[in-house]
A and B are shown apart, each in its own frame.
Chain A
Amino acid sequence: MKDLGRIGFSEDQASLLEVATDFCQRRSPVATVRRLMENEAGHDPAVWTELGDLGWLGVAIPEAYGGSGLGLAEVVPLVEQMGRRLMAGPFVSTTLVAQGLIAGGTEDQKREVLPRIAAGEAAALALAELDTDWEADSIACTATRQADGRLTLSGLKVLVTDANAARRILASVRLDGAPALVLLTPEDLPAGALRRETVIDETRRSFALTLDGVVLEADQLLDPGRARAALEHLHLAANLLAAADMVGGTQACIDYTLDYLRTRTQFGKVIGSYQALKHPIVEAYTRYEQARSHLYSAAHCFNEQGTGEIAVRMAKAAADVAYSFAADRSIQFHGGFGFTWDCDAQLYRRRALWHAAQFGDAAFHRKKLARLLF
């Protein structure tokens, strides 16, 4: 049997977890989450500035490029606590673009962009397409080289999260038949290239991006020799951070449901005393603890060849199942109130579905694991 990973926890992870737990609780109460859902920008710029001041945007950026030189293992507790509070904003998108540049950018690109990201410039990732699967190199959009060396793009990217806030967009395309990554700025896009999508998780700001007619300079192409590796790295990094967000959300969803089960009375009894409700919430809880263990194993082993991929896929698959079950039951256990907009259960359920649709759901990752393990 291959090495499936193990728990390890650094002092940096511990101190970031402590700070993030407090910060996200204070800065993202659910009333704020609901207010920002109605807001066009979708997040609070003041909070974004605070994240930058805390150094969170540079956690996984090397010191040579203005970051603090830690890794994604240290980003995980931050995203877990953001997910727990359903916090809005382009933190994950921006972190992933930095990861894409670290894994596949040219030296000039890294020197130019990474310090800006570490200093608070938001970025967005344009990988998904409508009719492809979740494989890292499944790309239909194209880039074509012109005689003058410039690149002409075509095709449609979807679920480009936080494109409204982004000063850079990292997009995957096919160039001469091979996967490639290009770095765009909003100035490269013709008017109307971005269309806001209506998405199930209303805390998100997500856009469809039409690449037709976009022309880029040659130096906006990332290192072609490392494009495939960078895409695979991004796929795993995105799933790791999604799992973190989902595990945090699962915990909050269970706590929210427990509050109701401890206080709501029917037939003269607090409903949490009924085993028909008690036992399934225990089931949700045990799945949560398992998902959280997978998450911190994936965080710890992320950089290990082979084991990292196994642990990340297990973490995402476990988080999908745990979050979906907890949130689905949360709606049900709130009864009539659970059917209303005002009940927070729907917020968690929607976010779980959002994550399942991106970078692979539980069944997809189990299928990949079968290939890795058998």
Chain B
Amino acid sequence: MSTVDPKDLAAFAEQADAWFAENVVRDPGFMLPLTFMEVGTDPQFNFLRDWQNKVWEAGYLGAAWPKAYGGGGLPQAFQTAATRAMRKHHGPIMLNAIGLNWAGPLLLEMGTEAQKAAYLKGILSAEDIWCQGFSEPGHGSDLGSAQTRAVRNGDHYVVNGSKIWTTLGRYARYMILLARTDPSTERKYDGLSFFLMPMKAPGIETVPIRKLTGEHGFTQTFFTDARAPAEGLVGPEGGGWKVAMRTLEYERGARGGQAGGYVSVGANAFDVFDLAQRTKRGGRPVLEDPHVADEMVGFLMEIQALTLNGQRTQVPELIADRPQGIPLASKLMGTEMSRRLNDFAVRLTGVRGAYYVDEPEAADNGLWARNYLNSFSATIGGGTSQIQANIVGEHVLGLPKS
């Protein structure tokens, strides 16, 4: 990367600011999902796909990815500025999360030239939606025990089995798939391979899963003699575990290189603070209750600490003792905080805490109750909080495996 000319960067940031000010649509006429995991209807999907495409065409997504693959070829600071402008103007989320944040940076790092050329541009433009096939019905957190089989047959593999919690499964054109190519290895991890799997192919069926919120968003994916092209292997056959672990590092934000933007606008403590300030109970502002006020302060301190943690990782001297500590623990801290915060928000609304989405008397149309129920997607998906605690305990604190 070339060095950043502050004047160029400032001009770019100004353009981005003006662009988002003009182009963000606040209310498309239906409730927009807060995260890419909550896309449940075709209007939501189509709106967000068009939005991502528009942002990319304007140069504010993938600005730091190489030009050859549809990116802007600029230093990371430019994408950071664009994302900041997007956030400032409350732009909707980027839809193609698994492509933009996980598969994309993974391919940039370890994909073949042909793979980069074939897939990266479609990720940015949202023409090709991506999904992830890691978890299986019988193996959620225990990814290494995946049983979906892939058997080599000439220039392709034949896949049989099932994957679950496939976000955007209905819409996806490609899946990053972890499958077992060798069931006889001594270590279960050594029998796994990592594929770029076309989804619109014979032998693949997606069945919607209804979430605890009542909405649809995930699918279960069934493979019956489906074909995975051999050129879609990432890494060597039998080397899939390492690639999957790398993918999880991208997913958990422990490693950079993502295309930019954000894929969730989950309520933060400041939104809940706003709720608290306008909520009354018995005719009095709810924050006059010292117990409620104390809890609110606790959450503001916690979210501030997470922001400061992020800033501190930029100061090598202040993370010297455990450089990987904050990055590896950030998913655990952030998602657990969010879950508790949304629970607090529901309770803040008092009697209305009994209402749910679409009840006319519900506070903020029932948003908080839905947020709370949805917050478990983050404390469970991508490795449960309990698995995260094991990771931090073992890889940061040096404790033996459980």
Contact = CB atoms under 8 A, between A and B. Distances in A.
Contact of B301 (A274, A367, A369): A369
29 contacts: A4-B300, A5-B308, A14-B317, A17-B317, A254-B397, A258-B398, A261-B399, A269-B400, A270-B400, A273-B402, A275-B386, A278-B389, A279-B386, A279-B389, A281-B399, A282-B329, A282-B392, A285-B325, A289-B326, A290-B302, A290-B309, A290-B333, A291-B305, A292-B318, A314-B301, A373-B300, A374-B277, A374-B293, A374-B296
A178 interface: no
A9 B308 contact: no
A272 B402 CA distance: 8
A1 interface: yes
A110 to B, nearest CB: 33
Contacts of A17: 317
Q: Which residue of A261, A278, A292 has the most chain B CB atoms within 10 A of its CB atom?
A: A278
Contact of A285 (B311, B314, B392): B392
Interface string B265-290: 00000100100010000000001001
Nearest to B304: A4
A287 to B, nearest CB: 9
Nearest to B401: A273
A273 B400 contact: yes
A294 interface: yes
A294 B312 contact: no
B297 A373 contact: yes
A165 interface: no
A7 B310 CA distance: 9
Contacts of B401: 273
Interface of A: 1, 4-7, 9, 14, 17-18, 251, 254, 258, 261-262, 269-270, 272-275, 278-279, 281-283, 285-286, 289-294, 296-297, 314, 317-318, 363, 366-367, 369-370, 373-374
A286 B329 contact: yes
Interface in B317-357: 317-318, 321, 325-326, 329, 332-333
Contacts of B402: 273-275, 278
Contacts of B312: 7, 292-293, 296
Which applies to chain A's interface (DSSP): helix, strand, loop or mixed?
A: helix
B297 A273 contact: no
Contacts, number: 127
B101 to A, nearest CB: 23
A275 B400 contact: no
A6 B305 CA distance: 10
A239 to B, nearest CB: 14
Size class of the contact patch on chain B: 35 or more
B257 interface: no
Contacts of A296: 308, 312, 315, 318
B393 A281 contact: yes
B393 A262 contact: no
Contacts of A6: 308, 311
Contacts of A281: 393, 397, 399
Given A273-B401, A274-B402, A314-B305, 11 more contacts: A6-B311, A7-B308, A258-B397, A285-B392, A286-B332, A289-B325, A294-B308, A314-B304, A317-B301, A367-B290, A374-B287
Contacts of B397: 254, 258, 281-282, 285
Contacts of A270: 400
A328 B190 CA distance: 42
A7 B294 contact: no
Nearest to B392: A282
Given A289-B309, A296-B312, A370-B293, A262 B304 contact: no
A269 B397 CA distance: 17
Interface in B365-402: 386, 389-390, 392-393, 396-402
B305 A9 contact: no
Contacts of A366: 294, 297-298, 301
A366 B325 CA distance: 27
Contacts of B294: 363, 366-367, 370
B151 interface: no
A258 B394 CA distance: 11
Contacts of A289: 309, 325-326, 329
Contacts of B325: 285, 289
A317 B325 CA distance: 22
Nearest to A283: B389
B317 A9 contact: yes
B9 to A, nearest CB: 20
Nearest to B270: A1
Contacts of B329: 282, 285-286, 289
Contacts of B254: none
A7 B312 CA distance: 6
Contacts of A273: 399-402
Contacts of A272: 393, 399-400
Contacts of B297: 366, 369-370, 373
Nearest to A285: B397
Given A272-B399, A293-B305, A7 B311 contact: yes
Interface in B242-258: none
Contacts of B326: 289
Top 5 nearest A-B pairs (CB, nearest first) are A290-B305, A293-B308, A7-B311, A272-B399, A278-B393
Contacts of A293: 305, 308-309, 311-312
A270 B296 CA distance: 40
A321 B128 CA distance: 48
B344 to A, nearest CB: 15
A194 to B, nearest CB: 38
A77 to B, nearest CB: 9
Nearest to B295: A366
A10 B287 CA distance: 38
A8 to B, nearest CB: 8
A279 B290 contact: no
